[in-house]
């Protein structure tokens, strides 16, 4: 199975610059949602599918395999969970999520002025 890995062609970089490989992986449908959800603790396939609302089982399975291969999540007794690297990534993305909420409000205010 292929996933966007540093050193190989990815969206935005023919040489697979690491940041572009990460953005390619995280930009795939539901990848960020899965990471965000697993920050709350381990979850089963069904729980993740419920959280992701409209995700098909095949796409969820594909994302879980990609995120596992990327060492961001792992299988656990309780289902899937973030690895140490996955937790580290979430901690770095969390402030960006807060910033995005303020940004969205700013855009809404500008467009309704």
- pLDDT by residue (tens digit) across 65-100? 999 999 999 999 999 999 999 999 999 999 998 998
pLDDT value of residue 53: 87
Inform me whether the pLDDT recorded for 15 exceeds 90: no
CA angle 26, 86, 43 (to 5 degrees): 95
Domain boundaries, the chain: 18-111
CATH number for the segment(s) 18-111: 1.10.10.10
1: which 2 tokens?
Answer: 């199975």
């Amino acid at each position: 199975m292929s996933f966007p890995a540093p050193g190989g062609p990815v969206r935005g970089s023919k040489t697979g610059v690491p940041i572009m490989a990460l953005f390619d992986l995280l930009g795939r449908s539901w990848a960020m949602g899965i990471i965000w959800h697993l920050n709350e603790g381990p979850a089963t396939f069904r729980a993740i599918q419920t959280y992701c609302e409209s995700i098909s089982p095949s796409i969820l399975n594909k994302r879980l395999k990609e995120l596992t291969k990327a060492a961001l999540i792992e299988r656990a007794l309780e289902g899937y969970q973030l690895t140490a690297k996955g937790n580290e990534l979430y901690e770095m993305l969390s402030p960006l999520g807060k910033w995005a909420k303020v940004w969205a409000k700013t855009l809404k205010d500008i467009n309704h002025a």
